[in-house]
Amino acid sequence: MSATNGGARTQILNGIRRSLRRGELAGPARESVAARLNAPLRGPLVGRAQLPQPEKVALFCQWAEINNATVARVAAGEVAGEVAAYLVRNNLPAEAAMAPSPLLDRYGWSGQKLLTLRRGRGEGRDQVSITGAFAGIAETGTLVMVSGADHPVSLNLLPDTHIVVLREEDVVAGYEEVWARLRERYGKDALPRTVNTITGPSRTGDIEQAMELGAHGPRRMHIVVVPE
């Protein structure tokens, strides 16, 4: 944090303390706050997602489809073929912007000779993007995306069609497990700049409650679920 930002932060916090008529935390109060930050409390768990892993994956797929996504469950060697077939089924061009993630390299894209892939961030001209996902949440069918050099956020938002490759081992019961995984992988002081939770394609309801897809992002989401 720069000195300028640090000074502004201190000024804001001091203003809040003055309005609450409190000084800086000290003694047991400060120790209590430090202990809670070092070991965050776990929130409530949703009972319907406390299942063995195979049933958890099935529940995720069920909720993803309820939320207007399409789902295919295929072996790792069939991922590239499923993506190419999905594009054909939906009359989409056989080209896509793909996240530069090493985890996507294992799926044999070179075997699809008619599929053109560009690795990098999403651009306005892209119609299709392909990414991985940090996690899938069984209780709601939600995908969790984290930003980084291997996953530009623009791939989640710009193209009209978003194809996501999700490993079964990355399906978790609820949101609390996602935050625990994030802290474990990145450390509490080095979280990714952006964490997106995405539940199906972008949509909105107008004043007559008619659902419109593609309101603020992709109008199609296809999730390819791959066994461990």
Mean of the per-residue pLDDT values for the chain?
Answer: 89
**54 and 25 in a common domain:** no
- CA–CA distance, 74 with 83 (Å, rounded to integer): 11
Structural domain of residue 153, as residue ranges?
A: 47-226
Cβ proximity of 162 and 129 under 8 Å: yes
| Same domain? 53 vs 105 | yes
Mark whether 22 and 114 lie in a shared domain. no
Same domain, 19 and 62: no
Q: Are residues 51 and 135 in the same domain?
A: yes
Residues 26-65: pLDDT tens digits? 777 777 777 777 777 777 777 888 899 999 999 999 999 9
Tell me the two tokens of residue 118: 């560009």
Q: How much is the pLDDT for 214?
A: 54
* pLDDT, tens digit (0-9, with 9 covering 90-100), for 205-222: 666 666 666 566 789 999
Q: What is the pLDDT of residue 111?
A: 93
pLDDT digits (tens, 9 = 90+) for 64-122: 999 999 999 999 999 999 999 999 999 999 999 999 999 999 999 999 999 999 999 99
Indicate whether 123 pLDDT > 50: yes
Q: Is the pLDDT of residue 1 over 50?
A: no
Taking residues 174-190, report their average pLDDT: 88
What's the mean pLDDT in 13-31?
79
Count of CB atoms within 10 A of residue 215's CB?
A: 13
- In angstroms, what CA-CA distances link 217 with 63, 92, 164, 193? 20, 17, 14, 20
Residue 97 and residue 158 in one domain: yes
At 227 the pLDDT is 95
Q: Are residues 88 and 174 in the same domain?
A: yes
Are residues 118 and 209 both part of a single domain? yes
Same domain, 124 and 87: yes
* Same structural domain, 34 and 101: no
User: Both 32 and 133 in a single domain?
Assistant: no
The whole-number pLDDT of residue 188 equals 72
Q: CB neighbours of 172 closer than 8 A, spacing ≥ 6?
A: 56, 135, 136, 137, 138, 178, 181
Are 11 and 98 contained in the same domain?
A: no
Whole-angstrom distance, CA of residue 160 vs CA of residue 54 = 31
The number of distinct structural domains making up the chain is 2
Question: Is the pLDDT confidence value at 171 over 50?
Answer: yes
Least confident segment among 2-16, 89-103, 157-171: 2-16
Domain harbouring 80, CATH code: 3.40.50.10420
Average pLDDT over residues 187-200: 88
